Amino acid sequence: MTRIERNAVEVHGIVKHYGETKALDGVDLTVREGTVLGLLGPNGAGKTTLVRVLSTLIKPDAGTAFVGGYDVLRQPKQLRRTIGLTGQYASVDELLSGYENLYLIGRLLDLSAKDAKARAVELLERFSLTEAARRPAKGYSGGMRRRLDLAASMIGRPKVLYLDEPTTGLDPRTRNEVWDEVQRMVGEGSTVLLTTQYMEEAEQLAHALTVIDKGRVIANGGIEELKKRVGGQSLQVRPADPAQLPEMARALQESGVPATFSTESGLLSVHLTDERRLTAVIGVLGTRGFAVAGIDTKLPSLDEVFLTVTGKSAVPAQTRDKEPVA
């Protein structure tokens, strides 16, 4: 069986310069219809600039982009009917209540008064804002504003949803709520372009990843693919006595397990390139009689992904500069 898959978003060679700053320097990317693309990049990589180009908020200097088949430059009005945007900074009317903010957008999206009302109430409920619905948004906390902004971008059930760092500054419970909502939108057929600095978020939501830096795409592919390149999870060991960190690292190195440590965080970390590593670490630390206060595994951070795909070592500079331990 042949399934025809369309790209909901297509970006070809988009360039946007601000004076000397090359915010976007020839970006190409595609987002398959009905999927979530995670756009990862450090501060200043150009994520927000790209989202703004794709939302018709700024015009690129060069390149072409299509969203839902519409050209960002030549068909902005049609394009706007297919998109929803939650920008990096909340854009709510502070003097209006949460409900009135959503109702207004519903009306501007040509919902009838009755539908706009129902949709506002529904989304307020989903984002746990029902209690605050009638209060002016001025008095909302940062997280509440963010949720209101997210709700606002979902009112028209957009085919393509842009979320620019949607969970930055949210507590874990709210973050999960946002993730659930995003997944629900995807379940209903929406395509999502999500920018994030968190690998975990990308892992949770995205089907594919694009990593950008300094306005250029530096990596592209499926989550698994990228993770393999970075090399799985990393093991974090917290010794009972932080003074033992160098000693522990040396012991592991001697047993053929490369380890790095940071005296700042008091953590020793080991890249878990294969399953046997974990057992090896525990074995070594046990036989040498080190007291361990805590042990944890974590996904590679964006930093590690980034360093790996740019070909630089992911080893913290601090330990790299030290004289070799083995």
Ligand X SMILES: Nc1ncnc2c1ncn2[C@@H]1O[C@H](COP(=O)(O)OP(=O)(O)OP(=O)(O)O)[C@@H](O)[C@H]1O
Q: Which residues bind other proteins (CB under 8 A)?
A: 1-8, 10, 30, 32-33, 55-57, 66, 68-71, 74-78, 80-81, 83-85, 87, 89-96, 100, 104-105, 107-110, 136, 152
- 48 versus 260: smaller Cβ distance to Mg ion: 48
Rounded to whole angstroms, the Cα distance separating 95 from 209 reads: 38
Name the DSSP letter for residue 299. P
Range 128-187, binding ligand X (CB under 6 A): none
User: What is d(CA 211, CA 234) in angstroms, rounded to the nearest whole number?
Assistant: 20
Residue 83 touches which member of other proteins, Mg ion, ligand X, none, C-beta under 5-8 Å by kind: other proteins
Q: Using CB distances below 5 to 8 A depending on partner kind, what does residue 49 bind out of other proteins, ligand X, Mg ion, none? A: ligand X
Among candidates 84, 57, 80, which has minimal Cα distance to 193?
84
- Closest by CA to 293, choosing from 223, 254, 228, 241, is 241
**Between 48 and 233, CB nearer to Mg ion:** 48
Q: Are 102 and 124 in contact (CB under 8 A)?
A: yes
CB of 9 to ligand X, least distance (A): 17
| Residue 28 site contact among other proteins, ligand X, Mg ion, none (CB < 5 to 8 Å, cut-off depends on kind) | none
- Burial per residue of 263-276, b for 16 or more beta-carbon CB atoms within 10 angstroms, e otherwise: eeebbbbbbbeeee
Burial of 289 (0-12, 13-18, 19+ CB in 10 A): exposed
Under the criterion CB under 6 A, does residue 46 sit at the interface with ligand X?
yes
The reply on whether position 49 binds ligand X by CB under 6 A is yes
Closest approach of ligand X to the CB of residue 26, in Å: 14
Q: How far is the CB of 60 from ligand X (least distance, A)?
A: 12
The CA distance from 283 to 83, in Å, is: 54
Q: Would you say 22 or 117 has its CB closer to ligand X? A: 22
Which one of ligand X, Mg ion, other proteins, none is in contact with 45 (Cβ closer than 5 to 8 A by kind)? ligand X
Closer residue to ligand X (CB): 21 or 244: 21
Residues 7-26 that bind ligand X (CB under 6 A): 18, 21, 23
CB 190 within 8 A of CB 160: yes
Question: Where does this chain touch ligand X (CB under 6 A) — which range of 30-38, 41-49, 97-105, 249-257?
Answer: 41-49
Distances (CA, A) of 138 to 102, 142, 178, 203: 15, 10, 21, 34
Q: Which is nearer to ligand X, 88 or 183 (CB)?
A: 88
| Interface region with ligand X, contact rule CB under 6 A, candidates 37-45, 127-135, 247-255, 296-304 | 37-45
The distance of closest approach from Cβ of residue 297 to ligand X in the complex, given in angstroms and rounded to an integer, is 26
Give the residue from 172, 153, 192 showing the smallest Cα distance to 38: 192
As a whole number of angstroms, the distance between CA 145 and CA 139 comes to 9
Q: Applying CB under 6 A, does 256 fall inside the site for ligand X?
A: no
- Judged by DSSP in three states, 96 sits in coil
Residue 2 or 43 with smaller CB distance to ligand X: 43
* Intra-chain end-to-end CA distance of the chain, in Å: 57
- Sign of the Cα torsion 17, 21, 23, 26 reads positive
Residue 48 CB, shortest distance to ligand X, in Å, is 3
Residues that bind ligand X (CB under 6 A): 18, 21, 23, 41, 43-49, 88
